[in-house]
Amino acid sequence: MRRLKKSRAIDLLEKFQNTKILVVGDLMLDEFLWGRARRIAPEAPVPIVEIERETLHIGGAGNVAANLAALGAKPIIIGVQGNDINGERLCGEFEKAGIDTSSITIDSLRPTTVKTRIIAHSQHVVRADREKKTPVNSEVESELINNFLRLLPSAQGVIVSDYEKGVITPSLLEKILPSAVAQNIPVCIDPKLKKFEHYHPATIVTPNQNEAEAASGITIDSEENLALVGKKLRQMLEGASVLITRGEEGMSLFENDNEVVNVPTIAREVYDVTGAGDTVVATLALGLACGASMLESAILANYAAGVVVAKVGTATASAKEVLDEIDNFFHHNVAD
């Protein structure tokens, strides 16, 4: 694994503090119902979960903002919520995290997206989604774009977090991406397959392996094919760098067409990968905004993701936890 000095990591994490990152994307409320399953339902072969407690977390692009806040940054969130009780609950969670909600657009024509997960004995039993995935209307889109352009001069980085819930449209991307790149602000995009050809200009795009394979039409079953996927995606993205997150295989970074840099995953027990991609793109964007190289930013993102996957449910990683991760799991790779 390429090395990152601990002193350099500390320096970067200190620079993260109060760095302003503009986050635009699909906002969600993650609802977790925790309980025990002691018996099977008589009417169907499914467990009966006796709910003991409920927790709420910010999801989707909001979780990207929550990760930024946990690392000490100042996220500026742009997205959409419904005019409903779940929108109020979502704003309440943002306020608890110290995240400004003044640039969230309220759309009375669509519900706030809610994902409800039932957990029994720390095992994920089922998830129920309440959402509307059609694109936002032109009025809402215009408000989102205007908010982005108004806030862009105050930002040091931009994250586009696309969950295909209707906020990130091709026309929105056409308006916001060139503006950010023209101001030399790093742009990181957490993509979805359907709009891959629209994610440019950008600094870096972070598909997972399934998304990368589907977008390129190439199965990653060898180092040769991995290199071909990276090269093809960079061509599709008109030269943007690509960081493919690959689960147990770690991450693969493509900054040019002739080299792939692999960042191995952390060897540890994984409890839940929920939101790990949000952690990766948040840490990556902060690194780039604070002057880190692409590789340094990817390594820090890998540490942060290692913290998050060891937690159950939607989670974040603090700067202290990232440093602890370096100490506990990569001490032999970090030089002081």
Q: Looking at 208-247, which runs of residues are DSSP E strands?
A: 241-245
Sign of torsion over alpha carbons 206, 207, 212, 214: negative
| 193, 211 contact by CB (below 8 A) | yes
Count CB-CB contacts under 10 A for residue 176: 22
Count CB-CB contacts under 10 A for residue 38: 11
CB neighbour list of residue 80: distance below 8 Å, 6 or more residues apart: 26, 27, 104, 105, 106, 107, 110, 136, 140, 144, 166, 167
Closest CA to 2 of 324, 304, 283, 263: 263
Q: Which residues are catalytic?
A: 278
Q: Is 95 exposed, middle or buried (0-12, 13-18, 19+ CB in 10 A)?
A: exposed
